[in-house]
Structure 1
Amino acid sequence: MLFGRGKKSKAERTEPAAAVEENESVEASGQSGESVVKGDFRLGKGPWDVEEIEDRDGYVDLGALLIAPAEGLQLRLEVEEATQRVVAVTMDLAGSSLQLQAFAAPRSEGLWDEIREQISQSVASQGGETEEITGTFGTELVAKLPAEAADGSRGFRAARFMGVDGPRWFLRGVLGGQAALDRDAAAGLEELFRRVVVVRGDNPMPPRELLQLRLPKDAAVPAQGGAPQPASQSGPQDGPALKQPERGPEITQIG
């Protein structure tokens, strides 16, 4: 399994931000599974809180997020340039993408209603438009921003925002590519979003604080010459390897 790595600027690190980026990445394979919904936080099945799963075996462990592998899935870890910390993970599947970020949330109320409003305001300030729709995970937001194609023609760049309020956490997913507007194209990534597990931890955190993501313990980073180098000093690495970063276009940010 190979992990691609993208960069993020300092301004993008705190608030839920939508980034639709094109980067190099990772292949993963596995099987789907189901679980019983617990609590009132999710519509239907998943995403899950870590307390709702039996164990972490079989997941890609990224710290605050556990990702279920799937055939054809590629993962990209997005890294903040200033601190070199991982701030988001993006799933690439069949030409579309799903960016994930998890945040601390209040115990008594969710964040999604407020965040949708902020996203709409940000998109409008950039000359774009948004539409609330009823999707697989409840109320979702489709955003369209003006964009110029390579041939100079005018069009728009689209993203579909999904938000899930969990027990003391908020998970935000942003669909890009064909999946942003085509429900059939989004089906595979929606299923992967449903299978995400959030690890909130017990530490007190202010609402909207980004939950800490990290590289898998067995990840390896290619040197400039291309030869894999250990990501830590713990010994030989035989797991995911990191590729050199390539930054793609961002659609909007909230802050």
Structure 2
Amino acid sequence: MFGRRRREEPAAPAEKAGRTEREEAVEETQTRRSGPWDSGEPYPERERVDLGGLRLPVDPGFEVQLNLAGDQIVGAVVVFEESALQVHAFAAPKRSGIWDEVRADLAEGVRGAGGTAQEREGPFGVELAAQVPTDEADRQPVRYIGVDGPRWFLRAVISGRAALDEEVAATLEGVVRDIVVVRGDEPMAPKEAIELRLPPEARQAVEQHAAQGDVPDLKPFERGPEIAEIR
């Protein structure tokens, strides 16, 4: 999905020296009509929840939940019509993607747990269609989607009704297409999770509740998406 843009003339050394690696990586991405988008490239405006490393599209009827590892936010989940879209963003090398490697590891893990996994072509390229064992001794259909961006990798997991229902899946695929990844310029190891954080209004609510000694209810929006914690 991301490729190098053909250029007639290479940039002058002085011009290259004035650009960061981030700007060079974005310049080399192919001009596209849909995302996921990099924060350094033009992208369409729409309502999004600002989670720091991710700007997540939201619509009425969505519930947004946050994945926590200890006190760190490592991912987000969009719940919609008995379906869930889980997204995580990671650092990646500048010149190569990691989806092939990650996909192979995911398939091995699913099969090792007693499930099945098969590669197939999807709207974002090669994806993994899996049947994942559950606690109820049953198997749950899951789609693993990966997108290699400029110095980042986005992993999306679709489960529930949308894993089988194309109409519902299209809504969640639309979310993936409009995600904006904010990689930043700081050095990061490949596969290191890009830091996420609560949006400003949610942080304010947490701080107010903490000052009062209450357990925060992370639902800062009066309409549209709701934000909750998942540990």
TM-score, normalised on structure 2?
A: 0.75
Query: What one-letter code is carried by the residue in structure 2 that aligns with 1:116?
Result: R
Describe the shift of the 1:126–1:118 C-alpha distance in structure 2 as closer, same or farther (beyond 3 A).
same
Describe the shift of the 1:103–1:238 C-alpha distance in structure 2 as closer, same or farther (beyond 3 A).
closer
Matched, 1:96 2:79: no
Q: Is there any run of 5+ residues in structure 1 with no aligned partner, and where?
A: 1-37, 232-236, 248-255
How far 1:111 moved relative to its partner?
Answer: 0.5
The 2-side partners of 1:48 and 1:185 are apart by 22
Matched, 1:50 2:47: no
Q: Higher helix share goes to which structure?
A: 2
Alpha-carbon RMSD:
3.2
3-state DSSP of counterpart to 1:116 = helix
The 1-side partners of 2:31 and 2:195 are apart by 22
Residue 147 (structure 1) aligns with: 134
| Higher Rg of the two aligned structures | 2
How far 1:110 moved relative to its partner?
Answer: 0.2
Residue 174 (structure 2) aligns with: 191
How far 1:72 moved relative to its partner?
Answer: 1.1
Residue 74 (structure 2) aligns with: 87
Describe the shift of the 1:41–1:71 C-alpha distance in structure 2 as closer, same or farther (beyond 3 A).
farther
Aligned 8 A contact 2:37 2:43 in 1: no
Residue 146 (structure 2) aligns with: 163
3-state DSSP of counterpart to 2:58 = coil
Cα displacement string for residues 149-197 of structure 1 (whole angstroms, at most 9, x for unaligned residues): 4xxxx53112100000000000000001011223222010000110000
Residue 68 (structure 1) aligns with: 57
Describe the shift of the 1:54–1:127 C-alpha distance in structure 2 as closer, same or farther (beyond 3 A).
closer
Describe the shift of the 1:118–1:44 C-alpha distance in structure 2 as closer, same or farther (beyond 3 A).
farther
Describe the shift of the 1:142–1:226 C-alpha distance in structure 2 as closer, same or farther (beyond 3 A).
farther
Aligned 8 A contact 2:66 2:230 in 1: no
The 2-side partners of 1:175 and 1:238 are apart by 25
Q: Is there any run of 5+ residues in structure 2 with no aligned partner, and where?
A: 1-26
Query: What one-letter code is carried by the residue in structure 1 that aligns with 2:193?
Result: L
Residue 177 (structure 1) aligns with: 160
Describe the shift of the 1:137–1:54 C-alpha distance in structure 2 as closer, same or farther (beyond 3 A).
closer
1:194-233 correspondence runs (5 A)? 194-219=177-202, 220-221=205-206
Describe the shift of the 1:55–1:145 C-alpha distance in structure 2 as closer, same or farther (beyond 3 A).
closer
The 2-side partners of 1:42 and 1:125 are apart by 39
The 2-side partners of 1:242 and 1:74 are apart by 6
The 1-side partners of 2:190 and 2:230 are apart by 31
With a CA cutoff of 8 Å and minimum separation of 6, indicate the structure with the bigger relative contact order.
1
Describe the shift of the 1:44–1:242 C-alpha distance in structure 2 as closer, same or farther (beyond 3 A).
closer
How far 1:58 moved relative to its partner?
Answer: 3.7
Describe the shift of the 1:80–1:238 C-alpha distance in structure 2 as closer, same or farther (beyond 3 A).
closer
The 2-side partners of 1:143 and 1:128 are apart by 7
Identity of matched residues, %: 39
Query: What one-letter code is carried by the residue in structure 2 that aligns with 1:48?
Result: W
Residue 121 (structure 2) aligns with: 134
TM-score, normalised on structure 1?
A: 0.68
